[in-house]
C-alpha cells in the first residue's frame, strides 16, 4: 500500500524533442536508460504536489482575500503541470529551510518551487532542475539611513535574514562582524527593519525590489550584490525521471512563450 504511484510520462515525443533542446536527453534509441527518464513517481497520482515558503512575493505568497497561493512560482507550477498533463496541488507553507529535507525524505511533496537558488550544497541533497530565473542579492535599510556595507559589518548592527537562504550565507561570509537574526520569512525581516528592530535585511534582489515598490516604500536598497544566482526546482534524487520531465516542460515553456507571459504578469515584462 504505497502512496507512490508509478506513472508513464504521457508526452514522450514532446519530452524527447524538448529534452534534446534542454541538453538533458540521454539520446534516442529503444533501450530504456538506467535512469528511467521516461517515468516518474508522484505522491498523488495525476498531481504535481508542490511545497514552498509562501511569504516570498512576488514568487510566492498567499492571496489575502482567498487564502490561495499566488505568484510567479505558482504560475510556473501551473504551467509545468499543464505541460506535463497533470494537475497542480499546493501544500501549506513551510519554513524555507525545511523544503530541501522534505523533498529529500520523500512521500509528502514532489517538488519544492520556492525561488530556490541552485547551489552545490543543495545538489548534494536533492536534484535541481535547469534554471528558470536569474537572481542576485541586495542589502535593504531604512530609506535615508547612512548605513553602508562597511558600517553594517559591526557587532552593534543587526542584520535580518531568512534562515537557510543564500542571503543568510552571504551575510555570514561578508558581514562576519554583524549580529545576524535568522527569521522565518523575509516579510518579518522587512517589517523589523521598518520598525527599527533590525538595521538591515539581506535578501534576493527581485524580492526586495518588489516589496519596496508594493509595501515598504520607507525602505531602500543600498547595495545590489551580483551573486549570479539562478533558481531551480528541487526534486528527490530518487525521482530522476521527474527532474527530466520538468526540464523538458521548462524548455517547452521557454519556447512556446509561457515563461515570457508569466514574467510579464509578475515583473511587467519578460525578465
Ligand atoms: N534564493 C534564496 C535561496 O535559495 C532565497 C529563497 C527564499 O527565501 N525563498 O536561498
The domain spans of the chain are: 6-134+230-267, 135-228
Q: What is the dihedral of CA 208, 210, 211, 217, to 10 degrees?
A: 100
Q: Which carries the bigger pLDDT value, residue 37 or residue 193?
A: 193
Residue 4, pLDDT > 60, answer no
Q: In the CATH scheme, what is the homologous superfamily, with its name and number, of domain 135-228?
A: Periplasmic binding protein-like II (3.40.190.10)
Residue to substitute in 74, 163, 167, 189 for testing ligand 1 pocket (most ligand atoms within 8 angstroms of CB): 167
Mean pLDDT of 181-198: 97
Q: Which of 95-109, 137-151, 221-235, 257-271 has the lowest mean pLDDT?
A: 257-271
Give pLDDT, residue 170: 98
Residue 17, pLDDT > 90, answer no
Helix (H, G, I), strand (E, B) or coil at 191: helix
State whether the beta carbon of 117 lies less than 6 angstroms from ligand 1: yes
Give pLDDT, residue 178: 98
The class level of CATH for 6-134+230-267 reads: alpha beta
pLDDT classification of 268: cutoffs 50, 70, 90: confident
11 Cα to the center of ligand 1, angstroms: 31
- For the chain, give the mean pLDDT: 89
Burial 130-142 (b: 16+ CB within 10 A, else e): bebbebbbbbbbb
Mean pLDDT of 57-82: 96
Residue 120, pLDDT > 60, answer yes
118 Cα to the center of ligand 1, angstroms: 9
Structure-block grid coordinates of residue 55: 511569504
Amino acid at each position: 500500500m504505497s502512496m507512490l504511484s508509478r506513472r508513464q510520462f504521457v508526452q514522450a515525443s514532446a519530452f524527447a524533442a524538448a529534452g534534446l533542446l534542454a541538453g538533458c536527453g540521454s539520446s534516442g534509441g529503444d533501450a530504456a536508460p538506467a535512469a528511467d527518464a521516461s517515468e516518474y513517481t508522484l505522491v498523488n497520482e495525476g498531481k504535481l504536489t508542490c511545497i514552498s515558503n509562501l511569504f516570498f512575493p512576488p514568487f510566492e505568497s498567499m492571496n489575502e482575500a482567498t487564502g490561495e497561493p499566488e505568484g510567479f512560482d505558482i504560475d510556473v507550477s501551473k504551467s509545468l503541470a499543464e505541460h506535463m498533463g497533470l494537475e497542480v496541488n499546493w501544500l501549506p507553507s513551510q519554513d524555507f529551510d525545511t523544503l530541501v529535507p522534505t523533498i529529500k525524505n520523500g512521500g509528502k511533496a514532489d517538488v519544492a518551487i520556492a525561488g530556490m537558488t541552485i547551489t552545490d550544497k543543495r545538489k548534494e541533497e536533492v536534484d535541481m532542475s535547469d534554471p528558470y530565473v536569474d537572481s542576485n542579492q541586495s542589502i535593504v535599510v531604512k530609506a535615508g539611513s547612512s548605513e553602508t556595507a562597511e558600517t553594517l559589518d559591526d557587532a552593534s548592527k543587526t542584520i535580518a535574514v531568512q534562515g537557510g537562504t543564500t542571503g543568510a550565507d552571504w551575510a555570514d561570509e561578508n558581514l562576519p562582524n554583524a549580529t545576524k537574526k535568522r527569521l522565518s520569512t523575509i516579510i518579518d525581516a522587512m517589517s523589523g527593519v521598518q520598525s527599527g528592530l533590525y538595521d538591515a535585511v539581506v535578501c534576493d534582489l527581485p524580492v526586495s525590489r518588489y516589496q519596496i515598490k508594493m509595501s515598504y516604500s520607507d525602505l531602500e536598497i543600498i547595495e545590489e550584490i551580483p551573486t549570479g544566482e539562478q533558481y531551480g526546482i528541487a526534486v528527490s534524487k530518487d525521482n530522476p525521471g521527474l527532474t527530466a520531465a520538468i526540464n523538458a516542460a521548462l524548455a517547452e515553456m521557454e519556447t512556446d512563450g509561457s515563461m515570457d507571459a508569466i514574467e510579464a504578469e509578475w515583473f511587467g515584462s519578460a525578465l
